[in-house]
Structure 1
């Protein structure tokens, strides 16, 4: 098991490109199972979660190869029906194979998911949607047992916006008989990317970028040929790194249009942000300013940037608040930030941060993907040495982050724990 040893403080400077989006590529890989043939996905990041999904596809009979950032998925012999506990427990996105497997074969057996260790994130909406489409669902011995003759189009109203359930339902509806209407569908760019990919495969879908998506089912889906959108959370993490270190960083190969909420918060905190067509330059101030943040569904401030913004506000002048409305228990990073000398108090789903002038390096432990990136931001701005344990979490969502940040002037060493 690896750890990071970080020497700080280190202002970052230079240019850093953004990779393909983790939260877009995982459902796209699952969507390849909707076709019988060879799918090609470009701009695929090299992540632990992508490797886990490759293993899942292999178990289901698909043959996956990779050359650089281009992945080829051959599903002509993908006849497997079961997604085992050993894989699903390590990554919640494994649940995405449920809809394609069920739609193609009329049956699927998928373990209940695991993944990041913060708070309850039920899959009730996934199962509700499958039942609305005509599937029979049973939970037996920790597995979801799903079966159907053929899925049938239906009107599905989500009581809350859910990215996972929206993606799952769109994939199922692609091969359903008739028309499916999704109300209160998620608006995230990763959902729009999935819609565009399936449209390219011949599926008629209306309402991309809106809360009402209409899918006209078909009897066959062509193999994917698609380029994954840039990872907005990775780009925003690098933006936060520039701001907290007082750096000057150009983030390229990104889509600033996907990041308005984070840009607004960074500007409110005193950073200078210059957005171009596919790049963003962030200049950090000598001292950040306190501000208030509320996480929301897209296009609001993303919950996946909550840990990073709290780390940043630990160095701000004044009192800030961060209200977590998506996952109220998503604060496992706060006790670790306190080890740096940060002054953060929790009151339910509200974090109250009294900024300090300096953080001090300390031994800390990563608990999930985004918490670990927040700890890296804090460590790069702290005085002295920080050891971050259990960095396998960050490898799930960021490709060789230490090498890329070191190219900007950071001093991060990967070592055996």
Structure 2
């Protein structure tokens, strides 16, 4: 297990190019399996999840070849099995996006029930979509079997917005005869990347309203070339780094429309920034930051993946700030490390701070478990000091790296492999901006 030392307090200055979005490519790979022709995808991030997905489809017979560091060729014509390997399918829910492309080829697919050390990963909304489309679904403790049945277009409606559920509904209805309508569809930009991609390979998908998507079934798919959109989460990481380290960072290959809710928040906090066509420059001269109240929500709202970085940024505002996560109930592990560094952060139930309890995770039974503690109250500003930390959560890993870069003194951080699950070369990019990062082992 790798360990690094970060000596904080150095302003990060310079230009940085964003990598491709992991949350985009992980849905493009299974969608590509419909095609019998070569598909070339550029700007593919080489992060753990993507590398393992590529290994997975190769093990199933598909062509998946890196022709440069961020360019990938895919072709599903040689897939030779309808069973998704257990180990990968159990760990990664996105493996289930392969189900219908496999059904397209073999008439059936067997996928493992997704599960992680934190518990099961529900795909109940995915299975509801499959059943709506006429697919036969059988479930046991370990596997889900999906068969073509009488597949046909349908109206699919989600009670709450679901990003991966929308991905699955689009992919699953691509070859269903007729016109499928997906209601309350997710608005994440990565979903629109998927729509653009499947149209390129021969699909007929259109977002006809912000939360309504129409899919006309097709039966023949082709090859082509596609470029993955930039990673909006990486953009937020470097923007926060610029403010916390009193630096000056120009973030390149930015789509500002993907960052509207974040930019609105840092505007209220009085952060310094400027936006051009495809760049975001953020800097700080030590100006006083204003505290804010932020509530995460599905796009176009403030993305839940940004919650840990928002909590960290709020530690440097003067006064009390609130960050309410309405998407997940268990994404606050970073708070204990930030508090050990000197932050003043407390967790509350929403009703305890005058908010309404909202949770879009349908797997959480509020009647059974009660109102969750999903509001962080941050009192600032705090002088953060370096400490020992272990990275265990891929989503909050960049937050602890950012905290260490801005803290006084040295931090020793283990579990660096966790950082590589979602982030491509993030330590190298951070060091290139001036961060003092040393690999120990």
What's 1:14 paired with?
14
Q: For residue 301 of structure 2, what is the aligned residue in structure 1?
A: 300
How do 1:11-410 and structure 2 match up within 5 A? Answer: 11-66=11-66, 67-114=68-115, 121-149=121-149, 151-207=151-207, 210-286=210-286, 287-347=288-348, 348-410=373-435
What displacement does 1:375 show?
0.5
SS of equivalent residue, structure 1 residue 260: helix
Q: Which moved more, 1:397-406 or 1:268-277?
A: 268-277
Decide whether the 8 Å contact of 2:343 with 2:382 is kept in 1: no
* 5+ long unaligned stretches in structure 1: none
CA contact 1:270–1:284 (8 Å) conserved in 2: no
SS of the residue corresponding to residue 361 of structure 1 reads coil
Q: 1:330-377: CA deviations, max 9, x gaps?
A: 112111211212111111110111123310111112222221011011
Residue 120 of structure 1 and its aligned partner are, at CA, apart by 6.6
How far is the alpha carbon of 1:28 from its aligned partner?
A: 0.4
Cα distance in 2 between the residues matched to 1:88 and 1:152? 26
Structure 1 residue 119, shift from structure 2 partner:
7.6
Give the secondary structure class of the aligned counterpart of 2:105. helix
Q: Is the 8 A contact 2:163 2:188 kept in 1?
A: yes
- Is residue 114–residue 120 contact of structure 2 (8 Å, CA) maintained in 1? no
Structure 1 residues 152 and 4 mapped into 2: Cα distance closer, same or farther (>3 Å)? farther
Matches of 1:44 and 1:158, distance apart in 2: 30
RMSD: 1.6
Structure 2 distance, partners of 1:195, 1:209, is 14
- Point out the more displaced range, 250-259 or 330-339: 330-339
Q: Which moves more between the two structures, 151-160 or 221-230?
A: 221-230
**Equivalents in 2 of 1:96, 1:203: separation in Å?**
16
- SS of equivalent residue, structure 2 residue 33: helix
TM-score (norm 1): 0.95
Cα deviation code 1:264-306 (max 9, x no counterpart): 1122222112111111000125143321111011111110111
Residue 394 to residue 71, structure 1, CA distance change in 2 (3 Å): same
Give the deviation of 1:50 after TM superposition: 0.8
Q: Distance in 1 between matches of 2:285 and 2:270?
A: 6
User: Distance between the aligned counterparts of 1:149 and 1:137, measured in 2?
Assistant: 9
Distance in 1 (CA, whole Å) between partners of 2:260 and 2:276 is: 12
The normalised TM-score by structure 2 is 0.90
CA contact (8 A) 1:30 1:97 kept: yes
1:28-47, Cα deviation, whole Å (9 max, x unpaired): 01111111121111111111
Q: Contact between 2:113 and 2:141, CA under 8 Å: does it hold in 1?
A: no
Distance 2:55 2:172 in 1: 22
Cα pair distance change 1:156/1:266, threshold 3 Å: same
Instruction: Tell me by how many angstroms 1:214 deviates.
Output: 0.6
After TM superposition, the structure 1 stretch with the greater mean CA deviation from structure 2, 119-128 or 330-339, is 119-128
Structure 2 CA distance, aligned partners of 1:120 and 1:248?
42
Classify 1:113/1:307 alpha carbon distance in 2 versus 1 (closer, same or farther; 3 Å): same
Paired residues of 2:383 and 2:407 also in contact (CA < 8 A): yes
The structural deviation recorded for 1:155 is 0.3
Report how many residues are paired. Answer: 415
1:25-76: CA deviations, max 9, x gaps?
1100111111112111111111111101101111221121111211001222
Which residue is 1:414 aligned to? 439
